[in-house]
Amino acid sequence: MSKVKIAVLSSLLTLVIVSVTFAFFLSQEKELINPMQSTEKVHSPGSHQLVNLDERDTANQELWNQRRNIITQTVQNVSPAVVGINVKEIRQYRSPWSNDPFWRQFFGSGIYNRTVQGVGSGVLISSDGYILTNDHVAGTADEIVVTLTDGTQYKAEIVGTDLTTDICLLKIEENDLPFVKFGNSDEIIIGEWSIAVGNPFGLFSMTDNPTVTVGVISALGMNLNPLNGRYYMNMIQTDASINQGNSGGPLVNSVGEMIGMNTIIYTAQGSSGNVGVGFAIPANKIKKIVEELKTSGEFDRNYWTGLRIQDIDEGIADYFSLSRARGVLVREVENNSPGEDAGIREYDIITNVGNFRVDNSEVLQGILKDYKAGETVAFTILRDGDFINKTMKLEKQ
């Protein structure tokens, strides 16, 4: 009997010990995994350290917030002011047979009209509907349709256009429109962020929203060769991707100021796509041209200098003991001309106009295209080994 009592008591004691032990471990497990506890901890994969779930949620929220940075905010602010531009232009073509009297008997004058369509970009620069674009986009158009980001379309009229600087000002009849403010292009820093917004390849028509590309300012003061009567001087170079159709769209800095207008690109041979080298007209030049287009519809360059000039080659550089063949030689100064009044003489060498270096006669002509009749221009000239400054008033012809 005693043996039975001992066995029963031993079993009860074992059951109590097992129950207490089970309860203890169960409570510890709940403390570790209970989702209602604010200080829950879990094991990180591959780690023996415990990670606080509140800290993880905070980190995830921070990552989410970092997605909205100064670039995305700028794009959100600028995009509503960017427009797609569709143009139609009627061009006249002449048949190759039109010059032959025999064939004209059968085919007439051989002159016929052809409608050419094109697309480009533009940007609203005022709340009352003034739109900036390139002359090569809309300057010769017979019909211009502007599409806003809300899908609304307007017929636009040309207020004025300037082929020389490739700047065109349009107007639509609407008020309270979003617009982009001009920045100061003289304060641009090489290497700072640049954002190109526009309508490459007409993609704007698919979503009524512009395309955004981001890069940096690669170089400043770039003087390109003239193209079809257009002078591209003091251009901004960027590696933000610019393609066909981007022309006329804004180049903005990271705070949403328009520092230039996307205009021209370098392309690889046989290609029309971006290779990382694009150019924009600086905002300060645009502001000057736009004010003239608003008031008179044109930029008045009807002035004269009275100077006859010549590029400096190696022979001329050696004769004047120049370190390199750069600058423009004055070959003749007309009597009673602005050049004579400014004190410029024959055989002077023009090295600078204002802050811009003069490499050759093409550059000099391009720089002077930024001035209008009646303005005063500062010249730096080399005479008898000394640099001297002269000012010339650009008088009307």
pLDDT digits 0-9 by tens, 263-320: 998 776 655 666 778 999 999 999 999 999 999 999 999 999 999 999 999 999 999 9
Q: Is residue 193 included in any domain, yes or no?
A: yes
User: How many structural domains is the chain composed of?
Assistant: 5
Does 176 map to a domain?
no
Question: Nearest-CA neighbor of 304 among 347, 334, 343, 330?
Answer: 334
Q: Which residues contact 234 (CB under 8 A, 6 or more apart)?
A: 220, 221, 222, 223, 282, 285, 356, 367, 370
Q: What is the pLDDT of residues 319-353, one digit of tens each?
A: 999 999 999 999 999 999 999 999 999 999 999 99
**Higher model confidence: residue 365 or residue 116?**
365
Kindly state whether residue 75 falls inside one of the protein's structural domains. no
Query: Which of 296, 317, 342 is a domain's end point?
Result: 296
Exposure string for 137-153, b = 16+ CB within 10 A, e = fewer: bbbbbeebbbbbbeeee
CATH code, domain with 164: 2.40.10.10
Instruction: Examine residue 90 and state whether it is found in any structural domain, yes or no.
Output: yes
Q: Are residues 112 and 17 in the same domain?
A: no
Domain boundary among the residues 108, 141, 171 is at 171
Residue 156 in tokens: 């636009």
Would you name the residues annotated as active-site residues?
Answer: 136, 166, 247
Q: Domain for residue 288, yes or no?
A: yes
Decide if 125 is inside a domain: yes
Query: Residue 260 sits in which domain range?
Result: 185-296
Q: What is the pTM of this model?
A: 0.78
Q: Which residue has the tokens 């005693």?
A: 2
Helix (H) or strand (E) holding 331: strand 328-333
End-to-end CA distance of the chain: 138
Distance, in Å, from the CA atom of 17 to the CA atom of 37, rounded to the nearest integer, reads 29
CATH number of residue 363's parent domain: 2.30.42.10
Q: Assess if residue 250 is contained within a domain.
A: yes
On whether both 199 and 271 belong to a single domain, the answer is yes
Q: How confident is the model at residue 20 (pLDDT cuts 50, 70, 90)?
A: low
User: Are 122 and 213 in a shared domain?
Assistant: no
Instruction: With respect to residue 71, please indicate whether it lies within any of the assigned structural domains.
Output: no
With CA atoms as reference, report the closest residue to 352 among 324, 325, 378, 321: 378
Measured distance CA(247)–CA(268) in Å, rounded = 18
Same domain, 291 and 320: no
- List Cα–Cα distances, 38 to 8, 25, 269, 336, in angstroms: 45, 21, 64, 90
Q: Give the length of the chain.
A: 397
Confidence at 46, pLDDT banded by 50, 70, 90: very low
Same domain, 248 and 271: yes
Alpha-carbon dihedral of residues 277, 282, 283, 284, nearest 10 degrees?
170
Clarify whether residues 49 and 14 are in a common domain: no
- Of 113, 138, 171, which residue is a domain's last? 171
What is the reported pLDDT for 98? 61
Question: Are 118 and 144 in a shared domain?
Answer: yes
